[in-house]
Amino acid sequence: MYLGKIGEIIRNRRKSLKMSQNQLADSANVSQGYIADLENGKVNNPTIKTVVRIAAVLNLDNEQLLNEAGISDGEVNSDIMELVRMSEKLTPDQRQKMIAVTKALFPEMFEEKE
């Protein structure tokens, strides 16, 4: 994942909107420090859900942002984004059930590697 690239895209968009890191952080429900670290490529593993929230605040297209950052290609990304959108509508209990069903259907994806 090209963390510096996604941070650069977010920083450039935020600045073009004349938005401070604090304003973005408040709107995206993350800390200002997280935004600073993300923009500087210091966040090791940003979740897609968090990136989607930040992109929404900045009026960025989720798929284009993730593609430009080199996180995934368009076709896979569309599927991932659909799953993220669906999961956001679920309660925590429903999400846990969805994970359990996924693990039952695709156990090979969750096997420990030695």
Q: What does the pLDDT look like over 46-59, one tens digit per residue? A: 777 888 889 899 99
Which of 51 and 111 is assigned the larger pLDDT? 51
Of 69, 43, 73, the C-alpha closest to 55 is 69
Which of 94 and 68 is assigned the larger pLDDT? 94
Question: Is the pLDDT confidence value at 114 over 70?
Answer: no
Q: What does the pLDDT look like over 3-59, one tens digit per residue? A: 568 888 899 999 999 999 999 999 999 999 999 999 998 887 777 788 888 989 999
In-domain check, residue 100: no
In-domain check, residue 113: no
In-domain check, residue 42: yes
Mean model confidence pLDDT for the chain: 82
In-domain check, residue 95: no
CATH number, domain at 22?
1.10.260.40
In-domain check, residue 62: yes
Amino acid in the structure at residue 99: I
User: Are 53 and 24 a contacting pair, CB within 8 Å?
Assistant: no
User: Are 25 and 32 a contacting pair, CB within 8 Å?
Assistant: yes
In-domain check, residue 102: no
Report the number of distinct structural domains present in the chain: 1
User: Are 44 and 18 a contacting pair, CB within 8 Å?
Assistant: no
Angle between helices 21-28 and 48-57 (to 10 degrees): 120
In-domain check, residue 83: yes
In-domain check, residue 74: yes
Domain that holds residue 81: 3-89
